[in-house]
């Protein structure tokens, strides 16, 4: 397809062409014709490059904006992160400070002091256990003595009963002898009766004593058995429990010490994180420099674009419509667009240079003769190679 | 509990063996009588061969110490081992009487 420049009036083109172009004079010089065609290609190239430069500037602007907005978001997030890290550091510090002691009865007590207190209480309890065992044994000893003494008393009562039997026998003999003596023995018989009554009374007393002693004896024996059972209760395992409790307390202390070191390390890590985040935020200020550089690039490209435009205008002014360009000359640009990996970027480049082909897709372009109608490729948006929608995180 | 006693150079040596428990209180009392008699100025109870002791056994040793103290006899325990040594240590007998190893 050949496109004729129409931005200059035909008469102007004709008047100028009379000076500069032999193409319309009817006496065309082949060399001059070739030069004009070559110049047309240059102009066509310039125009496309100018559009390409423009879209490059737009892209630089987009990149700059993209970087700026994302860096701003990242900075804000990092600042929040720094606040959280600081808060975490403070919390951990609090835990470290409170991990070695507890509040008890309104007082701050160190963990090692608690162990000392428990140890002291256990020692007192054990001392009392030993003392209780000792006192129980002393009671057992005393009751052993009482039981023995009761046995002795029983023997004594038996002796009294023996003596009483003899007394009774003596009194009987005395009565017999008194009877033999007749009236002279009457007084003696009275005494003998009295002695016999006395012996009976002593016998009754001994029987009562035996009864009483028997009651006492059974009471004492009962108490004796009970206290033996108490004294026989082995409390050594309770005493040895002190070892177990001490071992457990040592475990708690060890674990606490382990936790404290881990928490201190965590506190340090939180501080490191805060410091690193601050460094990251400082480093993110590169975005300002990057933005300035991109602005400088854009300005440079603007000048380049302007110089190309000036060149085109000057060329057109000089040669007017003797010049033309052909779309096939832009094959280099289509090749360039093909190398772009972002679909939306390809679309922007194409629509900048070939507005009538906007959104026609890039893979359908270069070659597909069938797509010359300019219709958009229905699969363009779902092109698996089109990575414009990739989420990095 | 088995026991062996000897009196050498004014020292009453009492050597105990096996277990020292409540069951031994009567036999132990006879040993206390030996201490009370003040036949020696010093009394040593050797625990090397005692394999186990219960809380009543600890009470008996404490009574022996107090009996000796009352009689003015110097008293000490000797060579406790294993569970016996551990119980004496936990019960802090060393704070009350001399324990020789």
DSSP string covering B40-59: -SEEEEEEEEEEEE-HHHHH
Residue A236 to residue B54, Cβ atoms within 8 A: yes
From the list B25, B26, B55, which residue is nearest A130 (CB)?
B55
Q: Report which of A21, A100, A16, A74 is spatially closest to residue A317, judged by C-alpha positions.
A: A16
Query: Closest-CA residue in chain A for B95?
Result: A127
Q: Which residues contact A304 (CB under 8 A, 6 or more apart)?
A: A53
Residue A231 to residue B59, Cβ atoms within 8 A: yes
From the list A130, A135, A231, which residue is nearest B91 (CB)?
A130
Residue B25 to residue A123, Cβ atoms within 8 A: no
Chain A positions in Cβ-Cβ contact with residue B92 (cut-off 8 Å): 123, 126-127
The whole-number pLDDT of residue A358 equals 55
The tally of CA atoms less than 13 A away on the side-chain side of residue A341 is 3
pTM across the whole model: 0.63
Which pair of structure tokens corresponds to residue A315?
């060329």
Please provide the average confidence, as pLDDT, over all residues in chain A.
80
| Residue owning tokens 């052909």 | A326
Partner A contacted by B29 (CB < 8 A): yes
Which pair of structure tokens corresponds to residue B26?
């009567």
Task: Please say whether the beta carbons of B101 and B91 come within 8 A.
Answer: no
Which domains are seen in chain B, by residue range? 2-100 (3.30.750.24)
E-state strands within chain A:
2-4, 101-104, 107-110, 324-326
What's the rounded Cα separation, in Å, for the pair B87 and B81?
Answer: 10
From the list A144, A239, A242, which residue is nearest B55 (CB)?
A239
Q: Report which of A39, A4, A47 is spatially closest to residue A305, judged by C-alpha positions.
A: A47
Chain A positions in Cβ-Cβ contact with residue B55 (cut-off 8 Å): 129-130, 133, 233-236, 238-239
Query: Closest-CA residue in chain B for A246?
Result: B90
From the list A136, A144, A228, which residue is nearest B59 (CB)?
A136
Distance from CA of residue A142 to its chain's centroid?
67
Q: Report which of A8, A34, A2, A9 is spatially closest to residue A21, judged by C-alpha positions.
A: A34
For residue A293, the surrounding DSSP H or E stretch is: helix A286-319
Residue A137 to residue B86, Cβ atoms within 8 A: no
Residue A7 is classified by DSSP as S
Q: Report which of B83, B95, B96, B34 is spatially closest to residue B57, judged by C-alpha positions.
A: B83
Task: Please say whether the beta carbons of B91 and A130 come within 8 A.
Answer: yes
What's the rounded Cα separation, in Å, for the pair A372 and A374?
Answer: 5
Chain B positions in Cβ-Cβ contact with residue A148 (cut-off 8 Å): none
Give backbone dihedrals phi and psi of B8, rounded to 5 degrees, phi first: -120, 125
Local structure of A110: helix, strand or coil: strand
Which pair of structure tokens corresponds to residue A171?
């009194």
Higher-scoring residue by pLDDT: B93, A7 = B93
Residue A234 to residue B62, Cβ atoms within 8 A: no
Q: Which residues contact A57 (CB under 8 A, 6 or more apart)?
A: A298, A301, A302, A305
The whole-number pLDDT of residue A347 equals 87
Spell out, as residue ranges, where chain A has pLDDT lower than 70. 1-28, 321-329, 357-393
- Closest-CA distance, B60 to chain A, in angstroms, reads 6
- Closest-CA distance, A223 to chain B, in angstroms, reads 16
Chain B positions in Cβ-Cβ contact with residue A241 (cut-off 8 Å): none
Residue B92 to residue A123, Cβ atoms within 8 A: yes
- Other residues' Cβ atoms within 10 Å of the Cβ of residue B24: 20
The whole-number pLDDT of residue B35 equals 93
What's the rounded Cα separation, in Å, for the pair B78 and B93?
Answer: 12
By CB atoms closer than 10 A (0-12, 13-18, 19+), residue A236 is: buried
Residue B90 to residue A233, Cβ atoms within 8 A: no
Chain A positions in Cβ-Cβ contact with residue B22 (cut-off 8 Å): 137, 228, 231-232, 234
Q: What percent of chain B has pLDDT over 90?
A: 88
Contacts 24+ apart (CB under 8 A), A257-263: A259/A99, A260/A96, A260/A99, A260/A100, A263/A92, A263/A95, A263/A96, A263/A99
Chain B positions in Cβ-Cβ contact with residue A242 (cut-off 8 Å): 90
Task: Please say whether the beta carbons of A284 and A75 come within 8 A.
Answer: yes
B81 has pLDDT over 60: yes
Residue B55 to residue A141, Cβ atoms within 8 A: no
B56 has pLDDT over 80: yes
What's the rounded Cα separation, in Å, for the pair B101 and B98?
Answer: 10
Distance from CA of residue A332 to its chain's centroid?
58
Task: Please say whether the beta carbons of A33 and A352 come within 8 A.
Answer: no
Please provide the average confidence, as pLDDT, over all residues in chain B.
93
Residue A130 to residue B25, Cβ atoms within 8 A: no
């Amino acid at each position: 397809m050949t496109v004729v420049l129409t931005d200059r009036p035909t008469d102007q083109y004709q008047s100028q062409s009379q000076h500069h172009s032999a193409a319309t004079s009817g006496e065309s010089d082949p060399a001059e014709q070739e030069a004009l065609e070559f110049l047309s290609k240059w102009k066509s190239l310039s125009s496309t490059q100018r559009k390409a430069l423009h879209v490059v500037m737009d892209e630089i602007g987009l990149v700059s904006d993209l970087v700026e907005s994302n860096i701003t978001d990242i900075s804000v997030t990092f600042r929040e992160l720094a606040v959280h890290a600081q808060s975490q550091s403070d919390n951990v510090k609090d835990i470290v400070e409170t991990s070695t002691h507890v509040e008890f009865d309104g007082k701050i007590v160190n963990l090692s002091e608690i162990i000392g207190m428990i140890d002291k209480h256990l020692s007192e309890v054990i001392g009392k256990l030993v003392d209780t065992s000792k006192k129980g044994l002393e009671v057992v000893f005393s009751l052993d003595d009482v039981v023995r003494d009761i046995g002795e008393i029983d023997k004594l009562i038996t002796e009294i009963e023996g003596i009483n039997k003899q007394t009774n026998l003596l009194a009987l003999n005395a009565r017999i002898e008194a009877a033999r003596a007749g009236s002279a023995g009457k007084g003696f018989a009275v005494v003998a009766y009295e002695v016999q009554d006395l012996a009976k009374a002593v016998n009754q007393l001994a029987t009562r004593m035996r009864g009483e002693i028997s009651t006492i004896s059974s009471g004492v024996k009962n108490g004796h058995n009970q206290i033996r059972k108490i004294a026989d209760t082995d409390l050594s395992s309770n005493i040895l429990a002190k070892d177990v409790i001490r071992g457990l307390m040592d475990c708690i202390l060890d674990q606490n010490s382990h936790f404290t070191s881990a928490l201190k390390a965590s506190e340090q890590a939180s501080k490191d994180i805060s410091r690193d985040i601050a460094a990251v935020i400082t480093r993110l200020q590169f975005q300002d420099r990057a933005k300035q550089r991109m602005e400088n690039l854009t300005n440079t490209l603007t000048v380049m674009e302007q110089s190309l435009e000036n060149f085109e205008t000057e060329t057109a002014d000089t040669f007017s419509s003797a010049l033309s360009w052909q779309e096939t000359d832009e094959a280099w640009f289509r090749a360039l667009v093909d190398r772009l990996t972002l679909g939306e970027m390809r679309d922007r480049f194409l629509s900048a240079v070939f507005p009538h082909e906007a959104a026609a897709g890039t893979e359908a372009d270069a070659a597909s003769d069938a797509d010359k109608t300019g219709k958009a490729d229905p699969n363009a948006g779902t092109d698996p190679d089109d990575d414009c929608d990739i989420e990095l995180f | 509990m088995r026991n062996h006693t000897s009196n050498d150079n004014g020292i009453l040596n009492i050597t105990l063996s096996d277990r020292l428990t409540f069951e031994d209180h009567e036999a132990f009392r006879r040993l206390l009588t030996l201490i009370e008699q003040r036949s020696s100025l010093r009394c040593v109870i050797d625990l090397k061969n005692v394999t186990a002791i219960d809380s009543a056994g600890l009470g008996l040793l404490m009574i022996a110490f107090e009996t000796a103290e009352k009689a003015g006899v110097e008293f000490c325990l000797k060579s406790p081992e294993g569970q016996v040594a551990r119980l004496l240590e936990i019960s802090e007998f060393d704070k009350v009487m001399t324990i020789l190893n």
